[in-house]
Structure 1
Amino acid sequence: MRRFKTFLVLSLLTAALFSCGGEKKEESAQKADSAPTAAKAPAAKKKIIVFFGNSLTAGYGLDDPSQGFAGLIQKRIDSLGLQYKVVNAGVSGETTSGGNSRIDWLLKQPLDVFVLELGGNDGLRGIPVSETRKNLQAILDKVKAKYPDAKRVLAGMQIPPNMGQKYATEFKDVYADLAKKNDITLIPFLLEGVGGESKLNQADGIHPTAEGHKILAENVWIRIKDLL
């Protein structure tokens, strides 16, 4: 009788252990089945906006380059939850000739929107307008050839008439002519509302302050927001 009771207790314990093990296996299987649904979906790949220009794009003279108009555009994009990353490809002192030489290296990286801001240094140096026009067109052509689906934007520039009114007028007209010829978006005058305003420019009277760049950012955003 005692042996029978002992056998009965051992049988019940064994059954209980197998039961617990089965429940744990079933629970583990349920967790495994639900794991894929709990995993986060991969983040969407951001498109690239390249700002290709000179010291204006580079944010020359600012304590923090992100205070420049290109950096402010990135902040606006982020606040709206748009999937774009801004690449600041501004080089201080760059001319259209220098940009034409540099663009081949830049185009090794993919891009979706290309904003061309060059020519101001050409005007300040009195470089022939025909040369500026040729270089800007060459840059636009290279971008289109490498990335035909990329949206191109041209930032217009103007210069004071100290080089002569004829030169200043021809220089200004280059941007509108190229935008029309290439059927691309034009920012009529990047420095609209800032150029010539001493309180919005640094001591050199050429490069905008942080407050000035906020206005530049608005001038750009108005023209590119629909492209995004």
Structure 2
Amino acid sequence: MKISKMFIFALTLAIAGLGAAYSASAQVVALGASNTEGHGVGSSEAFPAQLERMLQAKGSSTHVSNAGVFGDTTSGMLSRLSSSVPEGTKIVILQFGGNDFRQGISPAARQANIASIQQQLRARGIKTIQADGFVKAALQSGLAQSDHIHLTAAGHQRVASQLMGSIR
């Protein structure tokens, strides 16, 4: 079977166009600790995965990457910021959680870490969305696992639904 040079050229252009379309779609990273990771419900039920499915159901090609790490602190998030938030990221959902308090990190150190994370993302032109309030509200409304710290799948769904309006 002989393939014409024109066909190969057209195919190459089509593939390049698909790559450009993918990179032009918004890239979202959810940066946080165990609730971001999906502790107790699994990553497929965590709010980043649920948010991605909700966006795709609305016709968006947005990919939401889960950069949640169980037990992480704001200093840990700061130290892995560059590796967790790749070039091309448009939005970072920040969910700092309460591990700093549980590990005895001072409020001043926590605030300095948060300010540094936000400053670095701003310098890269990346929009940030705070999710801690959504998580706290879901936990307070009874959408918590038996440990009263981690969200149920329904809690993650609620957080994802609340984040939907902020993703453009």
TM-score, structure 2 as length reference: 0.80
- Cα distance between partner residues in 1 of 2:134 and 2:50: 18
Distance in 1 between residues matched to 2:99 and 2:76, nearest whole Å: 11
Which of 210, 217, 225 does residue 160 from structure 2 map onto?
217
CA distance in structure 1 between the partners assigned to 2:129 and 2:154 by the alignment: 23
Which of the pair has the greater relative contact order for Cα pairs under 8 Å at 6+ separation? 2
Residue in structure 1 matching 2:28, options 31, 49, 65: 49
User: Which digits, 9 at most, give the CA deviation of each residue in 1:187-214, with x for residues without a partner?
Assistant: x4433133362xx322212111112211
Determine the structure 2 residue equivalent to 1:195. 140
- What is residue 40 of structure 2 aligned with on the other side? 61
Q: Which residue does the alignment assign to 2:3?
A: none
Question: Could you say which structure has the larger radius of gyration?
Answer: 1
1:133 aligned residue: 111
Return the letter of the residue paired with 2:94. L
Aligned to 1:25: none
- Contact 1:194–1:215 (CA<8 Å) still a contact in 2? no
Cα deviation for residue 221 of structure 1 reads: 2.2
Q: Does 1:153 align with 2:129?
A: yes
Unmatched segments (≥5 aa) in structure 2: 1-5
Contact persistence 1:195–1:206 (CA under 8 A): no
- Partner Cα separation in structure 1 for residue 141 and residue 103 of structure 2: 18
TM normalised by structure 1 equals 0.61
Detail structure 1 runs of 4+ shifted over 4 Å in the superposition: none
Read off the aligned partner of 1:194 and give its amino acid letter: L
CA RMSD of aligned residues (A): 2.6
In structure 2, distance between residues paired with 1:107 and 1:75: 20
Partner SS state of residue 152, structure 1: strand
Higher helix content, 1 or 2 = 1
The answer to whether the Cα contact below 8 Å between 1:192 and 1:219 also exists between their aligned partners in 2 is no
Q: CA deviation at 1:109?
A: 3.6
1:67 and 1:139 map into 2 onto residues whose CA distance is 26
Tell me how many residue pairs correspond in the alignment: 157
Q: Is 1:112 the counterpart of 2:90 in the alignment?
A: yes
Q: Is 2:35 aligned against 1:94?
A: no
Contact 1:191 1:216 in 2 (8 A): no
1:47-70 Cα distance to aligned partner (Å, 9 max, x none): 2100000001100111x4111111
